[in-house]
Each structure stands twice: as structure tokens, then as C-alpha cells.
Structure 1
């Protein structure tokens, strides 16, 4: 069984209170590790260590090239320990091993390499000004100590895509993983130290919501980057408003998927099913509302439900598994309650709608569930369920489909299925979403920004856009007279 400690100022330590909590394997319900419950005193110590690490001569005077080399070494170490990291991710989060091994771990290494290159390319610019005899230029300045708070659905990948740009731009960090899934992040931080990060530049605190609240509220934290629920994101904004610290938020989603009348039906069914059930639907960008032309809706529903029923359900460690467990018993109950509410409100459940028993009874498994005849006002069409629940919603023309797709508080991702390039290129700009996918499942790449409109958050991660989140612009005026 794994035992995780806090990392403060380069030293691994228990919480000052001695309190710990447990993490379980969602496929079996068995305890697989313990981790320290950080107290406010521990959080304060980690922030102080981060401030000292940020201001240390070794970090501030380090050349961009050397900083980039450290990030590159982290990527190398991630690849060297890929099997171990993937196994931890699958055991602690439940995601199928095909996801952890072929998506998450490679994405972490790719992200660190991408931002390793950016470390030497953080350019300012020379500005012509009207005041005579002035040399005026701008530079990117690191923010200071950044609080990075990651969710439980993709703990390793999201830790990587927050850490890499924060470090490339010269910040220090205090990283807090979700209490449900701390193990892979702890191992990643061990590799970060092995790569040569100076003491105090990366600090790790584990624990529940109280630890996160203490980190967000600390006055010496200069920036908070959070991925998680919209409700918690809104609470973070309220807390940070007093100190006006920088806030970056990647929050919930309710991704619409518009299937045009000319779409390849087989491609649309398979693609939407994969897009909906990636990581068992526990993804902010998962496709959840399928707008299908009325002439094709019945066929689409039938084929989608049949395909969903054919998918292998099982523990993530089984390489044949497509649908793994939900992350916790609490989340399993939440998903089941939404399914029950959908039926109460008049949606027609085609399949699924039950917990998986038998050999998997101790785990948190739920069968993929397809609803037909879903209307825009139903709760299952408006709330983020974050599970294997799919809503099919017929429409009569594309203008109607776009209007209904945009009838949501969220705007993280969307999809279009069509064989007509004109349809693809004219519909995409009309959809209020941070990313629009055409004829494919949702993907993330370090070179492209990721973030949303509306209640899906503030700011962007990935690409050059993340550099803006972790830097301030500083102007320098030099008198030449």
C-alpha cells in the first residue's frame, strides 16, 4: 500500500497534525494508499517554501536554456517510468489502461517537452513611444507562487499541463491533487525533483477541500490555476476577489454534438459513443447532448444503444476494458440519481440505467445509458452528469440545432458531424465553445489552447496561451538623454 507525504521546501514530511486519509481502487473498493491531510499550517509552510524557492538566486538566475533542460529531463523521466505512472493512474482513478498508457502518460511527456522549448522563447518587444530620448521595452515577468489544483478525472495529465508552463515561465508552485486520486501526482513530483528542480520551486500538498480552500485563500499565493467543478470555481473567484490574485479556471462542460443530415451514420455513432464514454464519461469535454436530424434520430438511437451495450465493462487494468468504473461510490450515486431524474421528467431510457453487479459488485461500475426524446429543459440536458449518460435530441433544421446547442451555461467543447466542408466551416464559428471538433472525438494537444466560454471557465491552457496565464507584462522606460 502506498503512503504519500507532503513535499515542502524539498523535504518529504507528514502533516503537522499527523492526520491521513485513504484512497481506494474504484474497480474493487479496496484501500490502496494513504496520504497526508495538509492542515492550514502545512499550507502556509508550503507557500513560504514556494516564495523562498521563487526568490532564490538559483531559480531567478537560472538561464532559460537550463530551465528548459530541466523540463526536458522531466519528460525523459516520465517516459522512463511510463508503465509505473500508467498503472498508478489506472489503479487510483479507474481509467482503462488503454487511456492511461496511450493518452495520459504520453501527453505529460509531450507537454513538458513543448514548454521546455518555450523557456527560451519568452520574448518581449521594443515599443516606440512619443516621449523623446526613451528606450521602452516590455518583458514577461513570472507571477511568483502559483497554486495549482487538479481534478480527479485526469490527475496525471492535468498536473503536467499546469506544472510545465508554470515552471517554464519561472514561477514556483504549490500543487494540490484531488483527494480521490493523489498517487500518480505524488510520483510525478518525485520525478520532478529527480530532474533537478531546486528546493522549494515545486511543493506538493495533499488533502481534501479544506486544504484547497487554505491554498486559495493564502495571501502570498499570487495565482490560482484550478480545474474542476463550476461551483468550486465560482467559490475560488469569490475568495480571490479580495486580493485580486490571478485566476485561471477550466470548469464544467455539457458538450453538444450536431449530427448533420448528410453525416456518415456509422462514423457519427462510433465517434459520438467514443466521445461520450472516454474515461467512462468522466471528462469535461465528453459529448453528452446529441442533436440528430429528426429523419435519422430513431436509427441513431437504436445504433447508439446497441453499440453501447456491446462495450466491455471491467477494471481499468484489463486491456480489453472500454468502460471502467466511476471514481467513487459517491459519484456513482450521483450519476444514478441523474438517470432516475431523467426518467421522472419524461425522457425515454433505451438501455443501461443500472449499477453493474456480479463480479464487479464491489466496484463503482455503471452501465452506459442512452436517453431518447430528451428536451432542452430536462435536468439531464442541462447539468453536467460526468458519467456514461447520453441524451439524443431530435431537430428539424441546422439553425435550430445551433441555437439549441448554444442554449447552455457551458461552452467548453462541441462537435459537428458532416461530409460537407461548407457545413463544417459555417457551423463551427456559430457554436459558443472553446473547441469545436469536426468528425472526431475530443482530443487535447500541447500546441492548441484548451478552455471554455461561460461557466466553463476563464483563460486557456496549452499552447502559447498558457504562457499568458503564468506571466505579467512589465514595461521598462530607460532615459537616454
Structure 2
């Protein structure tokens, strides 16, 4: 059994005073294959102290030199690509191809913010246009300070890259808590930092669960900003903790995203995009388009096409090349999805394909892909985030009805619009309340494009220049021109 028994604090592998161990489970083999010695509040305090001590020198280093470290992170991840893909598949349960997407997106993110760090240095002290004679106004952008980063288990490497890369580019120092469910891929980040000459205290990683590490980190007075990705319930707790001291916060929370199929869409292409939007990573995606809104003229043919594709999905060992869908990441998540399937039975939902009627592999935390049609808007499955391979559909008679139904949700993270007429699809997309909207496309996420939601899907943005801005404070110097 591989054991992780130390935290990474101030560029040292530190023995934790905590004696509690957290099991790391392979969700396909259903066995513990690693243990993490959980940290405690004393470890959080040591990590924050180290980050605070490292902050002035890291900020003074300048964006160009910080860019070199970010580029080195990207290259180190790329050099370990095959190893980390297999580790992610085993720890998370995702198919190898999906693990490759996670890793490649993370590498692209570090490279993107390496360039942005250099840009940041070049624009420091730029002048502000104004009409006041004899006055010079200049703009500087300083790092927010010490940031506490908390990431989820569904895409470990990419969700951490979305936070770590812009924070380091901005000149912030970091205390990072990965999910206790999938700590192994992100352990590689501490290993890369340890093997490099990254200044001590710039990146600190502390393992543990929400009670042992997450809560002490969110209330620590030495943390200037909190960035959290995860459930709405935990996000609200983080927000309340940040209120004391009026600290900066970014939240990327849940979604119940719609996918709209208009009446001029090509059914076969639409079916492929619908499948990619909900069944990727076993549906464990915050932006999963789990509400299908289809024009009534195409409903029957689309459901038939989706049913054929669902029957063809191969469930199995995520490390096997022939596997299309691996298990859920944990028994806890499998049980949560199964509770929704039970609710569907109680509500009498009409299944095009029902997970409970499909033969599953002999082992593994599997939930078969499921599709319900004509789901009432009052249904819990239509309204609530399931975070599993469950798609709910409804038919509409017009674009206006599709838009109204799509927007009738407190969530607003993402959406997809599929139509034969691309301009029509763009017009419909423009009317939707969501942070990312794909038009005739699968869910392509670009480092250059912002990520974040409307409504209860979160606060702030990740990726693009907006992601960097989340870790910067704007400072103006105004005075005589001479």
C-alpha cells in the first residue's frame, strides 16, 4: 500500500501531528490502495505562516520570472503524462481518455498563465487616459496576498490548475487543499515544486477533509482570499467564513445546465453532442447539460438515437482502452445517484433507458447511463444537480418556450444550443443566463475564455484574463505630471 504521510509546507515534507488516516480507494477494484495522514489546524497555521513569509519576495520577483516557474510546471506535468493519466484513472475512476483531457487542459492552463504573468509585468505602471491637465495617473496591479485554494474530486488536475496558475502568475502565495477523495494526482504538484527551485513557502499543500483542513483554512485570519470549487452547501459555508474580515472570495459551484435542440437540428449530430454533454466522466461534471430541451418535432427521433448510443456505451475498467465509462468516483457518490433513481421510480418518470435495468460489471461503483423523457418541471430530478449519468428531457414547441424553460433555474453555469442555422443558435444562446454557452459543439473549455456562472452557480470567474484578475488588487497612483 502506498502511503502519503506528510504535508508539503515551506518546501519541506512535514510530519503532521494529526494521527487520523484517510483511505484512498480505487472505485473500480473497490479497494484501498493508499492512505493519507490527515493534517490538522496546526498544519494549516504553519502553511499560512510560510505563505505569508514568502509573499513579499514572490511578488517582487516580477511576472517574467514567475512565468518561468509556471512554464516549468507545465513541462513537468507533460513529462509525467502517462503516469498521471493512469493514476487519475485509478484514483478517480474516469476512463483513460477522460484522464488525458483533464491533464492536457491543466498543462494548457499553466502555459497560458505563464504568458499572462509576463504580460502583467509589462503593463505595470501604465498611464490612465484623462482630461486633467498637469496630472499623471498610473495603474498597478498587486497580488491579493495569501490565498486558500480548495478543489473538488471530479477533475483534480485541471480544477487545481485553474486556481494555482493564475494565483502564482499574479504573485500570490498559496495554501492548497485538494479533495481527500482524490489526493494522489495533485500530490504531483507538490512533488514538482519540491524538485524545482520554487521559493520556499510559495506553494503549500495540506491533505485532509473538510472538517480537519477545509474549515480551519477558511477561517484563518492570515488568508486574504478563498477560492473554492464544489457543492453549493459547502460553498455557502465558505462564503460565511469569508465574511468575517471581509475577505476576497471566488466560488465555482453547482449547475443544472440545459441543452437545447431546435427543430432544424441534425438529429444524429445533436445526439452525439447531447451524449458528450452529460455522460462524460460518468456525469460527474459541474457543467453537465443534464436538462434536455428538445423541439417536439424532433423529440421521437432524438430519443431513439440517444437510446441506441446509450446501449453502446461500454462500462468497465477505466484503465482498459475499450472502456467508454468508468465507475463513479466513490461509493458515496454512487449511493447519492441511486437515491435519485429511487425518486424517479416514486415519481413515475418515463425512462428511455433505466440504469436499474442494465447489467453492470461484476465489481465497481457503477451507475449505468440513464435517460428520462417528459420529466415534469416539479420533479426533483429536473430541478436538482444529480452529479451522475442521468439525463432528463422535456419537449417544447418554440424557441421562446425553450429559452424560458432553460432560464427557469436558479443555476446558471453553462448551456448548449444545437441548431441547423448557426446564427439562430447564437441568438438563442445570447438569451440564456449562463456563463458558458456552446453552440453546435461539445463542451470545449479554453484557457483564454472565462469560466463561471450566473445565479447560485458561483461568484467570480476562472480562466482567461478574468481568472487572473481574481487574484489581483488594482492600485492607482495619481499626482503631478512632473
Q: Aligned pair 1:30/2:28, yes or no?
A: no
1:275 and 1:129 mapped to 2: Cα distance?
47
1:387 and 1:381 mapped to 2: Cα distance?
13
Q: Which residue does 2:3 correspond to in 1?
A: 3
Which has the higher mean CA deviation after the structures are superposed, 134-143 or 73-82?
134-143
Q: Report matched runs for 1:35-434 at 5 Å.
A: 35-55=36-56, 57=57, 59-101=58-100, 103-122=101-120, 123-124=123-124, 125-127=126-128, 133-210=134-211, 211-354=213-356, 359-361=361-363, 363-434=364-435
CA offsets 1:92-143 (integer angstroms, 9 cap, x no match): 1111100112x11111111111111111111243135677654321100001
Q: Secondary structure at the match of 1:354?
A: helix
1:314 and 1:376 mapped to 2: Cα distance?
33
Assess if the C-alpha contact under 8 Å between 1:301 and 1:392 holds in 2: no
Assess if the C-alpha contact under 8 Å between 2:315 and 2:360 holds in 1: no
Superposed displacement of residue 424, structure 1: 1.3
The structure-2 alpha-carbon separation of the partners of 1:64 and 1:355, relative to structure 1 and needing over 3 Å to count, comes to farther
2:356 and 2:204 mapped to 1: Cα distance?
42
2:301 and 2:137 mapped to 1: Cα distance?
64
1:52 and 1:61 mapped to 2: Cα distance?
13
Assess if the C-alpha contact under 8 Å between 2:59 and 2:172 holds in 1: no
Superposed displacement of residue 283, structure 1: 0.3
Q: Secondary structure at the match of 1:349?
A: strand
Q: Which residue does 2:455 correspond to in 1?
A: 454
Q: Secondary structure at the match of 1:431?
A: coil
Superposed displacement of residue 368, structure 1: 0.5
Which has the higher mean CA deviation after the structures are superposed, 63-72 or 348-357?
348-357
Superposed displacement of residue 229, structure 1: 0.7
2:117 and 2:129 mapped to 1: Cα distance?
26
CA offsets 1:133-178 (integer angstroms, 9 cap, x no match): 5432110000111111100000111111211110011000011011
TM-score normalised according to structure 2 size: 0.96
Assess if the C-alpha contact under 8 Å between 1:297 and 1:392 holds in 2: no
Assess if the C-alpha contact under 8 Å between 2:417 and 2:425 holds in 1: yes
1:199 and 1:353 mapped to 2: Cα distance?
50
2:183 and 2:357 mapped to 1: Cα distance?
26
Assess if the C-alpha contact under 8 Å between 1:95 and 1:279 holds in 2: yes
1:13 and 1:356 mapped to 2: Cα distance?
48
Which has the higher mean CA deviation after the structures are superposed, 191-200 or 459-468?
191-200
Q: Aligned pair 1:438/2:439, yes or no?
A: yes
Q: Secondary structure at the match of 1:337?
A: helix
Unaligned runs of 5+ in 1: none
1:397 and 1:432 mapped to 2: Cα distance?
18
Superposed displacement of residue 356, structure 1: 7.1
Q: Secondary structure at the match of 1:151?
A: coil
The structure-2 alpha-carbon separation of the partners of 1:355 and 1:265, relative to structure 1 and needing over 3 Å to count, comes to closer
Superposed displacement of residue 479, structure 1: 4.5
Superposed displacement of residue 359, structure 1: 4.6
Q: Secondary structure at the match of 1:338?
A: helix
1:355 and 1:463 mapped to 2: Cα distance?
44
2:66 and 2:243 mapped to 1: Cα distance?
32
CA offsets 1:187-215 (integer angstroms, 9 cap, x no match): 12211332321110000011111111110
Unaligned runs of 5+ in 2: none
Q: Secondary structure at the match of 2:61?
A: coil
Superposed displacement of residue 304, structure 1: 1.0
Superposed displacement of residue 310, structure 1: 1.1
Q: Secondary structure at the match of 1:350?
A: strand
1:243 and 1:355 mapped to 2: Cα distance?
53
Q: Secondary structure at the match of 1:287?
A: coil
1:452 and 1:185 mapped to 2: Cα distance?
25
Assess if the C-alpha contact under 8 Å between 2:12 and 2:194 holds in 1: no
